[in-house]
Amino acid sequence: MDDATSLRRAMVDQQIIARGVSDPRVIHAMLTVPREAFVPEGWQAHAYNDGPLPIGADQTISQPYIVGLMIEAAAMQPGDRVLEIGAGSGYAAAVMSRIAGEVWAIERIPKLADRARRVLADLGCDNVMILDADGTAGLPERAPFQAIIVSAAAPTLPPALLEQLAPGGRLVAPLGGRFQQQLTVYSRTEDGSISAEDLGGVAFVPLISGQV
Ligand code: SAH
C-alpha cells in the first residue's frame, strides 16, 4: 500500500466508520477517491486530516466525516441522478459519482469549478458535470433529482431546491446562522409529503446568491 492508500484506510476507519457511517457504498466510495487530488498544492500532507481545509477563494473542502454523513443521509442508489450545490474542490461530487448514476454539481466561483473539472477528468469521473452558476435556483432542466446535497449554509432552504426533489428522494442541507447550522435532511415520500430530520450541528461556509 502506498502512503495515501493507508492514510485513506485510516481516515475511513477512524473518522467515518468509528463515528457511525455504515452504508457500504459510502465506505467503499470514500476508500477509492484520492482526497489528496482535491486539496491545493502544498496541502497534500494534510489531505486526510480530520477537518476542513482551505481550497482558495475563502472556501473549504469539507471535513471527511461530514461528507460521509451527508452522502449516507441522502441515501443515494446506483443509477440515481443527484444534485450538489457548492461543488468547491469537487471531492464530495467525486464520492457521489462512485455511488450514483450521474452527478450535477453547481459552483459559483469559476476558478474552483475549473479546477474541480480538471481533477475529476484526471480521475475518470466522467459521470460528474460541474456547472458554473448560482445554485440557489437548482437545476430545473435536469429535475427531478433522487438526492440533493447543499454544501453551503443558508438561513432557510431556497424553495426551488425542494421542488426539484423526486418522490422517495432526500435533500441534505446545513440550515441556520452564519457560524453554526443544523444539518437537516428532508425526505419526500412517494405521495409527495415532506418530513424533516435534524442530524446535529455543523459549520459550513455561506451559500451566496448571485454568480461571481
Ligand atoms: N463540496 C465541496 C465543499 C464546498 S464549500 C467539496 O467537497 O470541496 C462550499 C462551496 O459552495 C464553495 O465552493 C462556494 O463557492 C460554493 N457556493 C456558495 N454559494 C453558492 C451558490 N449560490 N451556488 C453555487 N455554489 C455556491
Confidence of residue 1 (pLDDT cuts 50, 70, 90): low
> Using one digit for the tens of pLDDT, what is the confidence trace for 21-75?
999 999 999 999 999 999 999 999 999 999 999 999 999 999 999 999 999 999 9
* Cα distances (Å, whole numbers) of residue 79 to 36, 100, 102, 212: 27, 5, 7, 32
Region 78-103: what's the mean pLDDT?
Answer: 98
Q: Where are the alpha helices (DSSP H) in 134-176?
A: 159-163
Phi/psi at 56 (5° precision): 95, 165
Walk me through the domains of the chain, giving residue ranges and CATH numbers.
3-202 (3.40.50.150)
Please give the distance, rounded to the nearest whole angstrom, from the Cα atom of residue 108 to the centre of ligand 1.
7
Closest to 209 measured CA to CA, from 162, 152, 164, 170: 152
pLDDT at 76: 96
The tens digit of pLDDT for each residue in 141-161 reads 999 999 999 999 999 999 999
| pLDDT at residue 157 in the model | 97
**pTM of the entire structure?**
0.97
Residue 8 has pLDDT above 70, yes or no: yes
Ligand 1 centroid, distance to 152 Cα (angstroms): 6
Q: Which of 6, 22, 62, 209 is catalytic?
A: 62
**CA-based torsion, 83, 69, 122, 106: positive or negative:** positive
Average pLDDT value for the chain: 97
SS3 label, residue 169: strand
The pLDDT assigned to 189 comes to 95
Active site residue 62: yes
- From 35, 117, 207, 211, give the residue whose CB has the most ligand 1 atoms within 8 Å, as the site to mutate: 207
pLDDT at 211 over 90: no
Residue 210 scores a pLDDT above 80: no
The predicted pLDDT at position 152 comes to 98
Cα separation values, 160 from 34, 68, 163, 187, 202, Å: 33, 25, 5, 15, 23
What is the rounded distance in angstroms from the CA atom of residue 136 to the CA atom of residue 64?
24
Q: Count CA atoms within 13 Å of residue 117 on its CB side.
A: 13
Q: 62 alpha carbon to ligand 1 midpoint, in Å?
A: 10
pLDDT at 2: 82
Closest by CA to 211, choosing from 112, 73, 64, is 112
- Residue to probe by mutation, ligand 1, list 43, 85, 209, most atoms within 8 Å of CB: 85
Q: Does residue 174 surpass a pLDDT of 90?
A: yes
Kindly give the number of the ligand 1 atom that is closest to the alpha carbon of 207: 19
Where are any strands of DSSP class E within 80-122?
A: 81-85, 102-107
